Each structure stands twice: as C-alpha cells, then as structure tokens.
Amino acid sequence: MSLGRLDNFIGFRLRRIQNYLSSAFTAESVALGLRPGEFSALAVIAANPGVSQGTLAREVGLDKSAAVAVIDDLERLRLAERRRLTADRRRHALYVTGDGEAALDRLFAKLETVERDVLNALSPDDLQVLSSLLDRIYHSCFRQDA
C-alpha cells in the first residue's frame, strides 16, 4: 500500500505519530475513568489554580458548553472542584483536589513512558533538536496568545 502524494507532507506524518502516542496514552486515561480531553483539562487547571471555565475552555480548545460536561465529570470523580467567586458571582474558579494531583502524577508518569517508547529511535541530542524545531513552529503559529 502506497500513500502516494500524501507521503510528502509533514502534517500527515505528524498525525500518524500523534495518533499512535494518543491511543497508547488513552488506555491509561480511561483506566482512571477519564474520557479523552479530560486529562489535559485537569492538567491545565493544575497549572492555573482558580482559572475560570471559559478561559479553560478556550485554552484546551473546548466549547464552553462542552467544558461543563468535562468539569462535571472531574467533580464527580473528585479530581477537581468548582468554587463560586465572591468578586464575580457568575464565575466559577476551578481547582484540582489532592486526588486530582495524585491522578496527574500517575498520568504524567504514563505519558513519559509512552513518549519514551515512541521516541526511542532518537538520541537525546536528536530529541533536543526535534523539540526546538517544534517550538519554533509552535511559537510562529500561536504567538498571538491571550
């Protein structure tokens, strides 16, 4: 089976590698009761304690209505919690619980294992180069951040 012209595009190779990484990781994620996307939401809350739902949604690429379901789920699992802000009672500030931090430790450990397996074709120097090339692309695309 040939991929033909598709094979000339970097985006196609990015997608194949990324699909592989994420399917390997998803198994660990669902083992903790998390659906795809909930892990990154939890990680972003952990990195930004008190973040609002709207800001989180924008950052993770979710619709604000989809964010409701994600946070409902995280609360149900006692991994994160909403706290109504007194300053602006429309807003919820989001925080990760102790259980949430423990889950993140476990998930990040798995993520490291998965990446190590997939990236073991490259030397540490190669990885450094790859990382810096991706950074340069990333920053040229997303420099206009909020």
Partner DNA sequence: TATTGTTATACTCTATAACTATA
Partner DNA sequence: TATAGTTATAGAGTATAACAATA
Q: Which amino acid is at 37?
A: G
**Cβ 66 to DNA shortest distance, Å:** 5
Residue 30: partners with Cβ closer than 8 Å, 6 or more residues away: none
Q: End-to-end distance of the chain based on CA atoms, in angstroms?
A: 44
What does the binding site for DNA look like in residue numbers (CB under 7 A)?
35-37, 52-55, 62-69, 71-72, 82, 87-92
The verdict on 138 binding its own copies (CB under 8 A) reads yes
Q: Which amino acid is at 68?
A: V
Q: Which two tokens stand for residue 64?
A: 């604000």
Stretch that binds its own copies, among 62-70, 73-81, 83-91, 117-125 (CB under 8 A): 117-125
User: Which position among 34, 51, 93, 103 is part of the footprint of its own copies (CB under 8 A)?
Assistant: 51
The verdict on 137 binding its own copies (CB under 8 A) reads yes
User: Which position among 25, 53, 67, 74 is part of the footprint of its own copies (CB under 8 A)?
Assistant: 25
Give the pairing type, strands 51-52 and 80-84: unpaired
